[in-house]
Amino acid sequence: MDDATVIVEETGVDPARGTSRLTQDISAFGHGLIGDEPVEDGGADLGPPPFALLLAALGSCTSMTLRMYADLKEWPLERVRVELRHEQGPDGLEIDRRIELTGDLDEAQRERLLAIANRCPVHKALTHPLEIRSTLA
């Protein structure tokens, strides 16, 4: 596998590492992460649960997209902070994303950055038709 592949596999129960049957080793683009569930849900709480990783992907993509756009426009954006929460609504997953922009931006720049946030690649992937092809190895 190349570095552009994400691999997720069970760690297995390992008392030395404190892992549970739900602990996952994640290799993403050459970087290692751990995914897990809280203890009360049967995990060992060694890493964020799957939906937190999904929110982290959306938040980091949002922040990076805003940074790149503001830098391109040479706007005085000093800092981006994205706070996300999710819940299961009656019609599916609902994500609340609160974007805090620090810097001497005028109202038009702030509104444009909000519109750009909705065009980050992860946002677009989550809000457009998505096909996941699963096969057995």
Query: How do residues 75-89 score in pLDDT, each as one tens digit?
Result: 999 999 999 999 998
DSSP the chain: --TT-EEEEE----TTTT--TT-EEEEETTEEEEE---GGGTS--SS--HHHHHHHHHHHHHHHHHHHHHHHHT--EEEEEEEEEEEEETTEEEEEEEEEEEES--HHHHHHHHHHHTTSHHHHHHHS---------
Give the chain's domains with CATH numbers: 6-41 (no CATH), 50-127 (3.30.300.20)
Query: How do residues 7-30 score in pLDDT, each as one tens digit?
Result: 999 999 988 889 999 999 999 988
pLDDT at 137 over 70: yes
pLDDT at 107 over 80: yes
Say how many Å lie between the first and final Cα of the chain, rounded.
Answer: 14
